[in-house]
Structure 1
Amino acid sequence: MLPWLLLLICALPCDPAGIPVSDVSLKTQPSGGWVMEGNKLVLICSVASATGNITYLWYRGALGFNLETKTLPSLTAEFEISDMKQSDADQYYCAANNGDGPIPSELVNIHVKVPVSRPVLTFGDSGTQAVLGDLVELHCKALRGSPPIFYQFYHESIVLGNSSAPSGGGASFNFSLTAEHSGNFSCEASNGQGAQRSEVVALNLTGLSLAPTENGISHLSSGLTKWLLGCLGPITVTLIFCYWLKKKIGRQSEDVLRSPPQTVLQESTYRNSPGPRQPEPLYENVNVVSGDQVYSLVYHTQQELEPATAQQVKTHWASEVSSGIYSKPRVNTAYVDYEDSM
């Protein structure tokens, strides 16, 4: 019996104290390392084998900021973050120790997915005032939301188009403005965690249009209409003035044609005869010779005639002048005495 006791006493110090931890791993719930903002994240640390009580430790970041420590006689242990925030996205790992030193797990990336906020719709540089035919830019942006973000643009309830922002932020959509685009616009943002719709924004059209014809004539903008009116106004005033001036010149020409020709006084060859501008008497006393005899000069005025009859008038005038001096008895008539006028 003594040998058996010696063997037992010798064997006790030779038995191992326990099985050390091995194959430490970290798993997440939800799985895949994605968690929605506001939801809880469960970090599950486990070992493949170990004996006795095991101390579990959870760390955040590659530098190892300790979050929690638990000691359990179990091969698994859990640590829960109840309300995840976007700032909680980071790398996590755990470690296990049953007396031989902590054994760490591999790093696990945790992503916090942020639902999109209500987007804001704006109208590029033009604002909410635009003219028909303009190229309008719709810009939609959600201030918060994990990428990628998908945007859709609406005119009333009709989808105009869509765009995406792979890295987050906003997106734009361009279109040419027509008369059918009058009304309200909105946009929608989504990143797979629910969609959010923007407020409705009204676009005011400042262009006047003409209804399209069967030949497809496009609408005429108000800018073109104002330009035409601005050009036609001065042109119309100019045409009216030219028409009035033409009428006035025409009336003056008609008055000249209708007025009788001016009489031309034939210059007398007699020394004592009056000039052409002297008031025209029918008779003029030339000289009183003697007694009751008075010699008078008769003037005769004529109008300008055509060249064809000029020779005839000249002959007739010569005959009249040659017989123009005659004598007659003095009578009580009104005449201008030649010597008195001298």
Structure 2
Amino acid sequence: MTLTCKTRPPPQNLDAKLQFLFYKDGRVLGLARDSLPEFRIPAVRKEDSGSYWCQAKITSIKVKFSHRVQIEVHRVPIGNVSLEIQPPGGHLMEGEKLVLVCLVTGGTGDIVFFWFRGARGLSLKTKTQRSLMATFEIPAVRESDSDQYYCAADNGYGPSLSELVSITVRIPVSHPVLTLRAPEAQLVVGHIVELHCEAERGSPPILYQFYHEDVALGNSSAPFGGGVSFNLSLTAEDSGNYYCEANNGQVAQRSEVVPLNITVPMEDRNEVLTSGAMELLLGILAPATLALLFCCWLKRKMG
């Protein structure tokens, strides 16, 4: 906004240098030494409303005053209000930082920003600033922070509300515990052993994976949390170390290793020994048989 003071010097003082002053509500605007016929207000505000006039000083004793002009500055109402979240998507792990950014598409003057939680509008924070954007942070979210959020902005024309934004906070899984459940203390071939894997903490769904000596046996999901089981019918080759992993979308956590020792019955051992002896015997006889057949073939050819 530019204020201009216009006057004509008297005929007898056409070459006189005029000095100008501008007033608002009785207060001098700018510096008296400027003495320019214009006064500029770069960006008017609501507070600039008031009564304005100017003064033209022709000589040290002759001063002219303009009529008073009443100026009313009206603020531009706030446009659309929106709530953005960082990180985007609305899905966070417990301990991450959540930033709620309240944005307005228009509006002038001081804007009061509000942040609310839930359908009942629990007030979280209020900020007043001369800006079209304001932020509110939750440094480390917890699972209990899962809810709907919205913001509002007001510059004197009444609050304008954003849409609801849903926030879901998940708990990373803890290290699971692997438990072996067997019908007897001494395990033998043929027994059914239940491998039970369970993480004490972690938001569902949780995917569990079972391993024997780093070889995957199978997996199972717990859609509502808790643990899962995997049944294993024991053979002589199932002795060794077992562990499980739990994963709910962030980092897989591994259990401690649990050893499993299987007692092989005597008859099974005899079968194993007999099988081994047969393999050894075949390994010895096969070359001798081939040599004998070769000798017979050679004798026939020469005879």
Shorter-chain TM-score: what band?
Answer: 0.5 to 0.7
Residue in structure 2 matched with residue 52 of structure 1 by the alignment: 109
Give the deviation of 1:125 after TM superposition.
Answer: 5.7
Task: Verify: 1:151 aligned to 2:220, yes or no.
Answer: no
* Mean Cα deviation higher: 62-71 or 117-126: 117-126
Evaluate the alpha carbon distance shift between residue 200 and residue 156 of structure 1 in structure 2; reply closer, same or farther with a 3 A threshold.
same
Find 1:135's aligned residue among 192, 205, 216.
Answer: 192
The answer to whether the 8 A contact 1:128-1:204 is kept is no
Q: Once the two structures are superposed, what CA deviation does each residue of 1:60-86 show, in whole Å capped at 9, x if it has no partner? A: 111111111101111110011111111
For residues 75 and 101 of structure 2, the distance between their equivalents in structure 1, rounded to whole angstroms, comes to 24
SS of equivalent residue, structure 2 residue 237 = helix
Counterpart-to-counterpart distance in 1, 2:130 and 2:259: 67
Shift, 1:207, TM fit: 5.3
Q: Which runs of 5 or more structure 2 residues have no equivalent in the other structure?
A: 1-5, 7-65, 276-303
Corresponding residue of 2:82 = 25
Aligned counterparts of 1:127 and 1:182: Cα–Cα separation in 2: 16
In structure 2, relative to structure 1, the CA distance for the partners of 1:22 and 1:44 (3 Å cut) is same
User: Does the 8 A contact of 1:56 with 1:70 survive in 2?
Assistant: yes
Encode CA deviations 1:152-184: one digit per residue, 9 max, x unaligned.
101122211111122322122122111111122
Kindly indicate whether residue 156 of structure 2 is the aligned counterpart of residue 103 of structure 1: no
Quick check: 1:91 aligned with 2:148?
yes
- Which residue in the other structure is 2:244 paired with? 187
Which amino acid is 1:199 matched to? E
Residues 133 and 154 from structure 1, CA distance in 2 versus in 1: closer, same or farther, beyond 3 angstroms? same
Give yes or no for the alignment of 1:115 onto 2:115: no
Q: Name the Cα RMSD after superposition.
A: 2.7
CA contact (8 A) 2:183 2:191 kept: no
The whole-number CA distance in structure 1 between the counterparts of 2:162 and 2:184 is: 56
Same amino acid, percent of matched pairs? 57
| Equivalent residue for 1:39, pick from 96, 106, 109 | 96
What is aligned with 1:175? 232
The question of 1:77 aligning with 2:127 is answered: no
Q: Deviations over 1:303-341 (max 9, x none)?
A: xxxxxxxxxxxxxxxxxxxxxxxxxxxxxxxxxxxxxxx
Note the C-alpha offset of 1:150: 1.4
Aligned to 1:282: none
> Which amino acid counterpart does residue 191 of structure 1 have in structure 2?
N
Contact kept, 8 Å, 2:112 with 2:126, in 1: the verdict is yes
For residues 47 and 132 of structure 1, what CA distance do their matches in structure 2 show?
71
Give the TM-score normalised by structure 1.
0.56
> Alignment partner of 1:123: what SS?
strand
Distance, in Å, in 2 between the alignment partners of 1:54 and 1:190 is: 45
Instruction: Name the aligned partner's letter for residue 53 of structure 1.
Output: D
Once the two structures are superposed, residues 177-199 of structure 1 have per-residue CA deviations (whole angstroms, 9 ceiling, x without a partner) of 11111122110111221111101
Whole-Å separation in 1 of the counterparts to 2:84 and 2:229: 40
Aligned length: 209
Q: If each structure's helix is expressed as a fraction of its own residues, which one has the higher value?
A: 1
| Corresponding residue to 1:160 among 217, 232, 236 | 217
User: Partners in 1 of 2:97 and 2:185 — Cα distance?
Assistant: 43
Q: Following the alignment from structure 1 to structure 2, what is the Cα–Cα distance between the partners of residues 58 and 127?
A: 60
SS at match of 1:32: coil
The residue aligned with 2:34 is none
CA distance in 2, matches of 1:124, 1:164: 19
1:33 is displaced (CA, Å) by 0.5
Q: For 2:177 and 2:185, how far apart are their aligned partners in 1?
A: 14
The one-letter code sitting in structure 1 at the alignment partner of 2:153 is A
Query: TM-score, normalization: structure 2?
Result: 0.63
How many angstroms apart in 1 are the aligned matches of 2:181 and 2:152?
A: 54
Please give the alpha-carbon distance, in whole angstroms, between the structure 2 residues aligned to 1:87 and 1:126: 42
Say which SS state the counterpart of residue 180 (structure 1) adopts: helix
CA deviation digits over 1:15-67, x for unaligned, max 9?
6x211112111110000001221111000000111111100011111111111
SS of structure 2 residue aligned to 1:189: strand
Aligned residue for 2:89, secondary structure, equals helix
Q: Which has the larger radius of gyration?
A: 1
Query: Cα distance 1:125–1:22, how it changes in 2: closer, same or farther (>3 A)?
Result: farther
Kindly provide the CA deviation profile for residues 175-228 of structure 1, in whole angstroms up to 9, marking residues without a partner as x. 211111112211011122111110111224355251446999xxxxxxxxxxxx
Q: Aligned partner of 1:113: which letter? A: R
Residue pair 1:86, 1:113 contacting (<8 A) in 2 also: yes
User: Greater shift after overlay, 23-32 or 138-147?
Assistant: 138-147
